[in-house]
Amino acid sequence: MDRVWKNESGASLVLVLLTLTVLTMLGTAIATVSYAHLKLTTKDRDYQSTYYIAEAGVHQTYAKINSIVSSVYSMTSSEAEFYAVLNSKIDPLNDKVLTNFSKHFGENPIAEIEVKQLTDGNPREYQIISKGTIGNQVRTVSRPFRINWQSDNGIAIPEQAVAVIKSTISLKGGAWIEGDIYIASSNAKTIQMSGGTKITNGIAYVPKESVDNALDLPKHFGGDPPTVKENHYAIPWADYRTIVDSFPIIPAYTLAEDETIGGSFNRFDVIKNGNLNINSWQADNYTFDLNRDTSFKNITLKSNNKLNIDTNDQDHNIVVDNLNINNGVIELKGSGKVNIYVKNNFKIGAGSTLNQNASTEQLNIFLAGKNQKVKISGGQSINGSLFAQDADVTLSGGGRFNGYMVTGGNKVTFNGGVFSKLFLLAPDATVDAGGGVSISGAIISKEFNGGGGAKVDYQAVDLGDFPFSTENSSLDDLITKEPPREIH
């Protein structure tokens, strides 16, 4: 019996079998874990690579759009034209499949592109969506971006806008506005109408929070109120402010040389001690040869005498302390532009006219000084542009002004008369229109009050000719992007 229990001749075999079994199980487990890890690593690698493909699609498409924006901006001149051409060039990028990627472990990566326009107006929101695919792996990345068209001359207004107002519009006494109006204030009752007043052929655009309470109408209102909608246009008030604040430094030039005209017995000092005197019959129809930048102490016109300024087909500047056109005519000859810088006083009276026969773009008047007053009335007429540093302006009694007007003053008054193709930039001013005045163009001001049968209607104004430009905006400001992010 003892021999049976002590017989160990098969123990080694059992131990070997047990060891092999354990090692086999361990090997199988390790192999299984390794295979699973390898499979997971491969899947993770493909998953990450798919994201990079989707992201690369976003970057490629954005770079293309950035180039398109720059190109379209340089070839267009208005907001409407810019966006029309831009969208026509962006559309072909939709449903585009990018395949310019290296093979990924035998697979050909692709990125499917979609470009969406999210909003209208200016600026406009867009979104690039890129779906990256490697084999069975799919990931999607998006990038929102904004395009903000800006006039290349430093000023822009919404298309079809007849009035861009910071605070309020008040209409009474049959006043009538035709065209779109824009109100920056989010307060209630920013559009006040009474009597038979009308705002037609346009929309009133206001901030979102005041859409439902912008109109202030009396009970049984008999007029024609506008449709009110949310404004999506970023009104560039800071740019308007910059233009007004950029009134130029008055240059300094040598005084014009003395000149005497007339025969032996009718001698007249038309230029004497820096004064240009068109105040005698001898000086009527006198032509000043403007062949260089020059200055005067006073330029005086009386008795309906005429002063011709020969530009010699070149642009020149005139600096004058006081420009007194009590009763007279100033005409430009040649194709050159004349900038007149008035340091102190600018007066125009009787039936005086400035630049009636040359183009509007040929005459610019810069009026320096604080608390100035400019009055244009009667048969007086200016065909040119006026930049007043700080002047209250009154246009009445049949006076005419055709051009661009910029003022840093607090008051602009229209009382009768007809004004066509008028562009008024007065961001600090209250504009009062009455006396049956008719204004065609666009007005930018703090407030607008219309009454007495006044009519203001939209007329396209070519801001490409705006003479009081600031520095052009950088092309980088036209398009701004947000970081790409994954869409799940």
DSSP 361-409: GGEEEEE-SSSEEEEE-TT-EEESEEEESSEEEEEETT-EEESEEEE-S
Look at residues 321, 263, 320, 256 and name the one whose alpha carbon lies nearest to residue 289. 256
Pairing of strands 418-434, 411-415: parallel
More confident residue, 39 or 404: 404
**Residue-level pLDDT at 40:** 45
* Segment 143-179, tens digit of pLDDT: 999 998 876 666 788 889 999 999 999 999 999 999 9
SS3 288: strand
22: pLDDT strictly greater than 90: no
Q: Looking at the structure, tell me whether residues 303 and 374 fall in a common domain.
A: yes
Q: What is the pLDDT of residue 281?
A: 93
Mean pLDDT of 340-357: 94
- pLDDT in the model for residue 362: 94
Mean pLDDT of 124-139: 93
Q: In this structure, is residue 48 part of a structural domain?
A: yes
Q: 1 lies in a domain?
A: no
pTM for this entry: 0.72
User: Residues 60, 146: one domain?
Assistant: yes
CA-to-CA distance for 126 and 258, rounded, in angstroms? 65
The answer on 337 and 284 residing in a single domain is: yes
Helix (H, G, I), strand (E, B) or coil at 81: helix
Q: Pick the more confident residue, 23 or 161.
A: 161
18: enclosing H helix or E strand: helix 11-75
Give the whole-angstrom CA distance, residue 78 versus residue 157. Answer: 10
420 & 276 share domain: yes
pLDDT digits (tens, 9 = 90+) for 284-342: 999 999 999 999 999 999 999 999 999 999 999 999 999 999 999 999 999 999 999 99
Distance of CA 68 to the CA centre of its chain: 19
Instruction: Clarify whether residues 71 and 201 are in a common domain.
Output: no
Same domain for 384 and 435, yes or no, is yes
Beta carbons within 10 angstroms of residue 88's beta carbon: 11
Phi, psi of 439 (to 5 degrees): -120, 130
Instruction: Identify whether residues 240 and 276 lie together within a single domain.
Output: yes
Answer for the pair 294, 274: CB distance below 8 angstroms, yes or no.
no
Residue 298 lies in a domain: yes
Boundaries of domain holding 238: 161-465
Alpha-carbon dihedral of residues 227, 231, 233, 235, nearest 10 degrees?
Answer: 100
Choice between 78 and 205, residue whose per-residue pLDDT is larger: 205
Same domain, 253 and 391: yes
DSSP string, 111-125: EEEEEEE---SSSEE
Other residues' Cβ atoms within 10 Å of the Cβ of residue 17: 10
Q: Which of 441, 432, 371, 367 is nearest to 401 (CA)?
A: 441
Query: Are 129 and 487 a contacting pair, CB within 8 Å?
Result: yes
pLDDT in tens, 29-48: 665 655 544 444 555 667 78
When pLDDT is averaged across residues 202-207 and rounded to a whole number, the result is 96
State the pLDDT at residue 194.
94
Mean pLDDT across the chain: 88
pLDDT of residue 75: 86
pLDDT at 29: 60
Predicted local confidence at residue 14, as pLDDT: 66
Which H/E stretch holds residue 50? helix 11-75
Summarised one tens digit per residue, pLDDT across range 426-472 is: 999 999 999 999 999 999 999 999 999 999 999 988 887 788 866 55
User: Do the domain assignments include residue 4?
Assistant: no
Q: Indicate whether 470 belongs to any domain.
A: no
Residue 421: CB atoms within 10 A of its CB come to 16
Based on the number of CB atoms within 10 Å of its own CB, is 41 exposed (0-12), middle (13-18) or buried (19 or more)?
Answer: exposed
Strand partners, 160: none
> 2 in a domain, yes or no?
no
Assess whether 283 and 429 both reside in one domain.
Answer: yes
pLDDT at 76 over 50: yes
Share of the chain above pLDDT 70, in %: 90
Q: What is the share, in percent, of the chain residues with pLDDT greater than 90?
A: 66
The reported pLDDT for the residue numbered 11 is: 67
Does residue 155 lie in a domain region? Answer: no
User: Can you give the pLDDT at residue 33?
Assistant: 53
94 and 116 fall within a common domain: yes
pLDDT over threshold 70, residue 4? no
In degrees and rounded to multiples of 5, residue 430 shows phi and psi of: -90, 125
The residue assigned the tokens 């993770």 is 44
Q: Is residue 5 in a domain?
A: no
Tokens standing for residue 70: 């720059």
Q: Are residues 217 and 92 in the same domain?
A: no
Are 121 and 214 in a shared domain? Answer: no
66-75 mean pLDDT = 91
Beta carbons within 10 angstroms of residue 162's beta carbon: 24
Residue 111 half-sphere exposure toward CB, CA atoms < 13 A: 27
Which of 256, 281, 283 lies closest to 269 in space, CA to CA? 283
Q: Are 445 and 464 in contact (CB under 8 A)?
A: no
Instruction: Give me the number of domains the chain comprises.
Output: 2
